[in-house]
Amino acid sequence: MAITYEGKNKRWFLETENMGYVFGLDEKGKLKNLYWGSKLPRFDDYPGVNDLVVMDRYTWNDEFSVRGEKNNVEHCLKVEYYDGVRDVVLNYVNFEIKGDQLIIKLLDEQYGLSVKLFYRLIEKYDIIERWVELENNSDKEIKIEDIKSASLYVENSKKASLNYLTGMWGSEFHLRKEKINEGSKVLESRVGKTSAYMNPYFAIDYEATEERGKVYFGELAWSGNWKISIQKRIYERIGIISGINEWDFTYILEPSKKFITPKFVFGFSNEGFSKASQNLHHYQLDYILPQDKAHKIRKVLYNSWEATTFNVTEENQKILAEKAAKIGVELFVIDDGWFGQRNDDHAGLGDWYVNKEKFPNGLKPLIEYVKSLGMDFGIWVEPEMVNPDSDLYRNHPDWVINFPNRPRSLQRNQLILNLARQDVKQFIINFMDKLLTENDIDFVKWDMNRHIFESGWSETEVKKQREIWVKYIWNLYDIWKYLREKYPQVTFENCSSGGGRVDLGIMQYADQVWTSDNTDPFDRLEIQEGFSYAYAPKIMMGWVTDWGGKEAYPLEYRFHSSMMGSLGIGADLNKFSEKDFEIAKNQVQFYKEIRKIVQEGYQYRLSSVTNERYFAVQYLNEDKSEGVIIYLRNPMRFGLFDRVNLKLKGLEDEALYTIYEGVKDEEKEVITLSGKALKERGIIIEDSSKKFLTYGKIDHFFSRILKVKKISNNIK
Ligand code: GLA
């Protein structure tokens, strides 16, 4: 049994394949976290409440830490009751086990506040989902000032390091690592969306490598203001608290109403970072992504944004579509500029009718043409936004988020609609319904290009105005849910100025994300490397474009960089030479041959682009019979070498594998070795450092992509 209650010592054991997570009741009836780490052979091996380091002056190790009694450390719950009491006193009531779920009920009896802690075990991936439900069983309002999803604890050691993802527009998902010292480290967003500045992911390790060592990790499933705090005091275990950010937040919980927090998903690997990220990837594919498409292959798409920007017309899109079809593209996406008076980013957002000058006969002729070329058709929208220069804003200036008598500051010349309002939600549903019923659309790229500032909602009661932060996100999720159910044929891509809203919350509704607006094939590698720690390759859309100048990178390098996840093309095909078309066609064909392994397989990082002179990634299918290796030089790291020795991972020792290069009919064998030899001795990539002498020339960048195929199960 994965969830077991031991009555004698009042402990709950949550065990997955390799992980144990234990908490219990102390003599005062308080829930204490006792253990999180490798699964131990017997229940008796796990610690009990008397094994905790106990601090007399304050509480620690609370399974659900609240502001109350002797607790003033980071907590999950802070409320104000009707009479001004701000201490929460929660006592254990009972528990229930329902299949893979455990529910613990706690109660603040005096004030009728009931708290349910939910745990769901994902045994195969050593992951637990945690969330909380508050219910007001009194006849008075309860003001929630802070409600987090979980508190967790990991071992305290000088070796402990925190890994997290940070960045900004155009350079999202940069991985950082730092020692955890006493005090608090806060990862958070306060801009109303997940943000490019930090991503709700953390990992704590103790000098772990890709293959070895303990890694504790977690992700919050929330697309609004979020927070992960890591707190250390000198002797206790390190505390981790995560959930909705309490900054500028209050919520009035009315009598008999509930508040459900987002899920905090956490896991453990005793085999380093590879296993940690692989488990997260496969958990996302099997449990988070919309299941109707989670295991379907992502099509190769063409997006015309970088080619035509706002100047889209029926003619120029048809020309691009024809060229895209020629190289094997399966989905043609028209981006910004097709609606309202949208000729640049100063006008049109909010006016979701087709621009008659650009598309005199509506979208139909283009859609039909795209379909006649054998491709699906996709379209860009940014429903949450409005330009002041739009009919929508002229008609509904009250719909935007603002404080009266205060500025309405613009970002990218736009304001943000208050999606917490039901009428705004309905407006978005209506125009999306119209768009998707009137046109044969297979794919929607949903963008969101600014932050929330000046977060006023004056049309609602003052005491409820700060609820805007959560109600906005709940309504956003409702709309996505509605659209998915009504239009099951549509694939949804989530975008927010690139990777500004990437999290497990939105991924419950989106099939993939636009990773970053930075499509420079080399600069993007650091983004993609960081992304790989937290999110599955299939979710990561990468385009082959002309960034950095068409002459700066070989077209193959641009393709190989984009093949690490789901492949797209965004280059201006009108500038392609015959040779470029030939290369592109060949690369798209190659990608189609390997994409199942990239999108559904197990990813191994063979190096780090920030530390090494190359970035290499390997993918392996489930039965270890087929793999892919992508190698890209990092020419910014000088070193006198002619060859790079790549050691492969995950292969079966005793099996024989051949490494090939090239598309199916032209495959060339590179080498045949046993799995063990490929891991221990590795393969050689010819990559001469003398190429440095060509700095500024195109062959400064070099890449290779190889196929791995098992040819025999046994070397003997
Ligand atoms: C954002 C997106 C881009 C593109 C533009 C269109 O920046 O990230 O991919 O769609 O908007 O305006």
pLDDT number for residue 692: 53
Best residue among 303, 305, 515 to mutate for probing ligand 1, ranked by most atoms within 8 Å of CB? 305
Tens digits of residue pLDDT in 296-338: 999 999 999 999 999 999 999 999 999 999 999 999 999 999 9
pLDDT number for residue 357: 97
> Average model confidence (pLDDT) for the chain?
95
Least confident of 148-152, 178-182, 399-403, 695-699: 695-699
Ligand 1 centre distance from Cα of residue 447 (Å): 7
Phi, psi dihedrals of residue 480, rounded to the nearest 5°: -60, -40
pLDDT number for residue 649: 98
Ligand 1 centre distance from Cα of residue 471 (Å): 25
**C-alpha span between 337 and 397 (Å, rounded):** 22
Q: Which amino acid is at 231?
A: Q
Q: Which residue, judged by its Cα, is nearest atom 2 of ligand 1?
A: 497
Q: Percent of the chain having pLDDT more than 90?
A: 90
Which helix H or strand E contains 368, and what residues bound it? helix 364-372
Exposure string over 456-482, b if 16+ CB within 10 A, otherwise e: bbeebeeeebbbbbbbbbebbbebbeb
**C-alpha span between 464 and 333 (Å, rounded):** 40
Exposure string over 278-311, b if 16+ CB within 10 A, otherwise e: bbbbbbbbebbbbeebbeeebbbbbbbbbbbeee
Q: By C-alpha distance, which of 134, 59, 124 is closest to 622?
A: 124
The two three-digit tokens of residue 83, written as one number = 């009479």
Beta-carbon count within 10 A of 177 CB: 10
In this prediction, residue 618 has a pLDDT band, given cuts at 50, 70 and 90, of: very high
Indicate if the alpha-carbon torsion angle 469, 470, 476, 479 is positive or negative.
Answer: negative
Q: By C-alpha distance, which of 108, 101, 97, 102 is closest to 29?
A: 108
- As a whole number, mean pLDDT of residues 469-488 equals 98
- As a whole number, mean pLDDT of residues 703-708 equals 96
pLDDT number for residue 641: 66
Q: Which residue, judged by its Cα, is nearest atom 7 of ligand 1?
A: 497
The two three-digit tokens of residue 617, written as one number = 């990634």
The answer to whether residue 203 scores a pLDDT higher than 80 is yes
Ligand 1 centre distance from Cα of residue 280 (Å): 28
**Angle between helix 555-562 and helix 524-534 axes, rounded to 10 deg:** 20
Given the residues 336, 447, 511, 546, select the one marked as catalytic. 447
**Angle between helix 314-326 and helix 364-372 axes, rounded to 10 deg:** 10
Nearest atom of ligand 1 to the alpha carbon of 335: 10
The answer to whether residue 56 scores a pLDDT higher than 90 is no
Least confident of 212-216, 516-520, 559-563, 692-696: 692-696
Annotated catalytic, 248?
no
CB-count burial class (<10 Å; 0-12, 13-18, 19+) for 430:
exposed
**Alpha-helical regions (H) of 511-577:** 524-534, 555-562
**C-alpha span between 553 and 551 (Å, rounded):** 6
Indicate if the alpha-carbon torsion angle 527, 529, 530, 534 is positive or negative.
Answer: positive
Task: List all residues whose CB is within 6 A of at least one atom of ligand 1.
Answer: 305, 335-336, 380, 447, 449, 495, 497-498, 514, 517
Distances in Å between the Cα of 152 and the Cα atoms of 17, 143, 148, 204 are: 20, 25, 11, 12
Phi, psi dihedrals of residue 282, rounded to the nearest 5°: -75, -30
The answer to whether residue 37 scores a pLDDT higher than 60 is yes
3-state secondary structure of 565: coil
The answer to whether residue 461 scores a pLDDT higher than 90 is yes
Ligand 1 centre distance from Cα of residue 337 (Å): 10
**C-alpha span between 593 and 667 (Å, rounded):** 12
Q: Write out the E strands in 404-507.
A: 415-416, 443-446, 491-494
Nearest atom of ligand 1 to the alpha carbon of 495: 8
Q: Which residue, judged by its Cα, is nearest atom 11 of ligand 1?
A: 497
Best residue among 312, 494, 497, 513 to mutate for probing ligand 1, ranked by most atoms within 8 Å of CB? 497
The two three-digit tokens of residue 183, written as one number = 């005090």
**C-alpha span between 648 and 277 (Å, rounded):** 17
- As a whole number, mean pLDDT of residues 217-236 equals 96
Counting other chains too, the contacts that 449-452 makes at CB distance below 8 Å and 24 or more residues apart are: 449/382, 449/385, 449/411, 449/412, 449/414, 449/496, 449/497, 450/385, 450/411, 450/412, 450/414, 450/416, 450/497, 451/191, 451/192, 451/193, 451/195, 451/411, 452/191, 452/192, 452/193, 452/401, 452/416
Chain centre distance of CA 710 = 32
* Residue with the larger pLDDT of the pair 527 and 59: 527
**CATH top-level class for 3-288?**
mainly beta
pLDDT number for residue 1: 62
pLDDT number for residue 463: 98
Q: Which amino acid is at 286?
A: D
The two three-digit tokens of residue 609, written as one number = 């682009």
The answer to whether residue 368 scores a pLDDT higher than 60 is yes
Q: What is the Cα gyration radius of the chain?
A: 27
- As a whole number, mean pLDDT of residues 618-630 equals 98
The answer to whether residue 112 scores a pLDDT higher than 80 is yes
**CATH top-level class for 605-712?**
mainly beta
Q: Which residue, judged by its Cα, is nearest atom 6 of ligand 1?
A: 336
Output DSSP code: residue 221. -
**C-alpha span between 528 and 523 (Å, rounded):** 9
Q: Percent of the chain having pLDDT more than 70?
A: 97
The two three-digit tokens of residue 51, written as one number = 């094994």
pLDDT number for residue 635: 78
In this prediction, residue 58 has a pLDDT band, given cuts at 50, 70 and 90, of: confident
In this prediction, residue 284 has a pLDDT band, given cuts at 50, 70 and 90, of: very high
pLDDT number for residue 716: 77
Q: Which amino acid is at 301?
A: L
pLDDT number for residue 696: 56
> Where in the chain are the domains?
3-288, 605-712
Q: Which amino acid is at 275?
A: K
Q: By C-alpha distance, which of 411, 423, 225, 435 is closest to 339?
A: 435
Distances in Å between the Cα of 637 and the Cα atoms of 95, 172, 176, 608, 611 are: 57, 22, 19, 12, 9
The two three-digit tokens of residue 570, written as one number = 């965004």
Ligand 1 centre distance from Cα of residue 445 (Å): 10
Phi, psi dihedrals of residue 49, rounded to the nearest 5°: -60, -30
Nearest atom of ligand 1 to the alpha carbon of 445: 10
Ligand 1 centre distance from Cα of residue 465 (Å): 31
Q: Which residue, judged by its Cα, is nearest atom 12 of ligand 1?
A: 336
- As a whole number, mean pLDDT of residues 424-445 equals 98
**91-98 and 656-661 strand pairing:** unpaired
Annotated catalytic, 447?
yes
- Asked if 639 contacts 613 with a C-beta cutoff of 8 angstroms, the reply is yes
In this prediction, residue 638 has a pLDDT band, given cuts at 50, 70 and 90, of: low
**C-alpha span between 260 and 246 (Å, rounded):** 15
